[in-house]
């Protein structure tokens, strides 16, 4: 499975280049250098983490399957109807996991990584979460009960995930009847927007039918403003991943009632106990503020440094994925840590928070250690 990702990456890169070229020709570019590198760094890290968390990716599903599967007929699951059923089932349960990712604070802390970009393009599609698998694996266990084999479960998930790549673009308008049935660029732009009428809408991965059935559909009617209501304002991937948990930890620690200490994690995002809301007030959301881009000025040297180091870490990550099955768990964890450090250093350069000479020293050490582990 990891090697399949290596083959898919060049296809995604080509499609991003085509989208960028189209935007440049139409004088409507939707890419920004620092934002794109930030999103792609998240994508690379999520794949590296997936190597080290197979238990949560598919392992628990495979362990439960033999004990609970009710319909284990290969003649059905190997047929075209079986594959269609597996994909539809995955999309259905993915809808509920996705919805939980917006309606429960701890799930939102994990999922919000995908929404942090203030742009909407193919690179945003690759801005995948790293910690959702730790929380979301249980949502798919009904598929094991139905009898979807583990390998088919994994491939159905990949199909649903790859489908969603193309709907992350501003260059495709409304598509008529297609928008009423399937997740489409128009429907998904709404999902990523922070406008009042768009928040927590259009969760469907492949089908928007689920949203129409369960009352979470909204049609695109005004220009979308992208990002999160609490802006990340950083290209540091580790801050992007772990930062959303900080307010939950703070509020849970300082609130006096034990019931509220637990509720902080499971109430809708933004809910806060009255005592900590009074002690640590937060400004109200403003759409005009959300339109302000985090865009630190970069020198040419910073741009070149970030680009070179990003290319190097993409190479390391792809080599890691290619050799994943032959590496020990310890080597995998070390490569994950080194990759996280490398992408973190790129983010600090993009945020102008580190001197270039220190960034180069850190990158040289991290890349050298990675080369030794992959040799």
What is residue 351's predicted lDDT score, i.e. its pLDDT?
96
Q: What is the pLDDT of residues 228-278, one digit of tens each?
A: 999 999 999 999 999 999 999 999 999 999 999 999 999 999 999 999 999
Residues 6+ apart with CB under 8 A from 345: 309, 354, 359, 362, 363, 366
CA angle, 31 as apex, 26 and 36 as ends, to 5°?
160
Residue 273 · residue 298 · CB < 8 Å:
no
pTM: 0.94
Rounded mean pLDDT of 316-323? 96
> CB–CB of 12/6 below 8 Å?
no
Choose among 244, 250, 239, 241: nearest CA to 272: 250
- Cβ-Cβ contacts under 8 Å for 103 (sequence gap 6 or more): 200, 268, 269
pLDDT of residue 53: 87
pLDDT of residue 355: 93
Residue 54 pLDDT class (50, 70, 90 cuts): confident
Which alpha helices (H) appear in 255-355, and where do they start and end? 258-266, 274-279, 287-290, 300-322, 329-350
pLDDT in tens, 160-183: 999 999 999 999 999 999 999 999
Contact status, residue 228 vs residue 112, Cβ threshold 8 Å: yes
Report the mean per-residue pLDDT for the chain.
95
Write out pLDDT tens, residues 86-97. 999 999 999 999
């Amino acid at each position: 499975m990891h090697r399949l990702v290596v083959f898919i990456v060049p296809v995604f890169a080509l499609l991003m280049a085509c989208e960028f070229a189209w935007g440049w020709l139409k004088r409507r570019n939707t890419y920004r250098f620092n934002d794109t590198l930030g999103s792609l760094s998240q994508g690379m890290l999520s794949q590296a983490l997936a190597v080290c968390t197979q238990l949560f990716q598919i392992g628990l599903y495979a362990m439960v399957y033999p004990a609970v599967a009710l319909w284990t007929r290969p003649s059905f699951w190997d047929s075209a109807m079986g594959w269609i059923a597996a994909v539809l089932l995955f999309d259905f349960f993915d809808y509920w996991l996705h919805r939980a990712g917006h309606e429960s604070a701890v799930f939102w802390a994990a999922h919000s990584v995908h929404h942090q970009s203030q742009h909407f393009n193919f690179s945003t599609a690759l801005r995948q979460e790293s910690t959702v698998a730790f929380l979301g694996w249980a949502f798919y266990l009904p598929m094991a009960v139905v009898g979807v084999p583990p390998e088919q479960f994994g491939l159905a998930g990949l199909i649903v995930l790859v489908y969603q790549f193309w709907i992350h673009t501003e260059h495709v308008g409304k598509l008529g009847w297609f928008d009423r049935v399937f997740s489409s660029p128009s429907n998904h732009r709404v999902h990523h927007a922070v406008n009042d009428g768009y928040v927590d809408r259009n969760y469907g991965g492949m089908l928007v039918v689920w949203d129409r059935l369960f009352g979470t559909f909204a049609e695109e009617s005004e220009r979308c403003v992208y990002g999160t209501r609490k802006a990340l304002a950083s290209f540091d991937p580790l801050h992007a991943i772990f930062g959303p948990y900080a307010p939950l930890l703070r509020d849970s620690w300082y609130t006096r009632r034990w019931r509220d200490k637990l509720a902080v994690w499971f109430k809708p995002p933004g809910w806060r106990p009255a005592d900590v809301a009074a002690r640590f007030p937060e400004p109200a959301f403003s759409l005009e503020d959300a339109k302000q881009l985090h865009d630190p000025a970069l020198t040419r040297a910073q741009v070149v440094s970030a680009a070179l180091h990003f290319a190097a870490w993409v190479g390391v990550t792809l080599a890691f994925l290619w050799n994943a099955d032959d590496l020990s768990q310890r080597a995998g964890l070390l490569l994950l840590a080194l990759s996280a450090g490398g992408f973190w250093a790129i983010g600090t350069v993009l945020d102008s928070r580190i001197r270039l000479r220190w960034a180069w020293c850190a990158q040289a050490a991290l890349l050298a250690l990675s080369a030794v582990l992959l040799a």
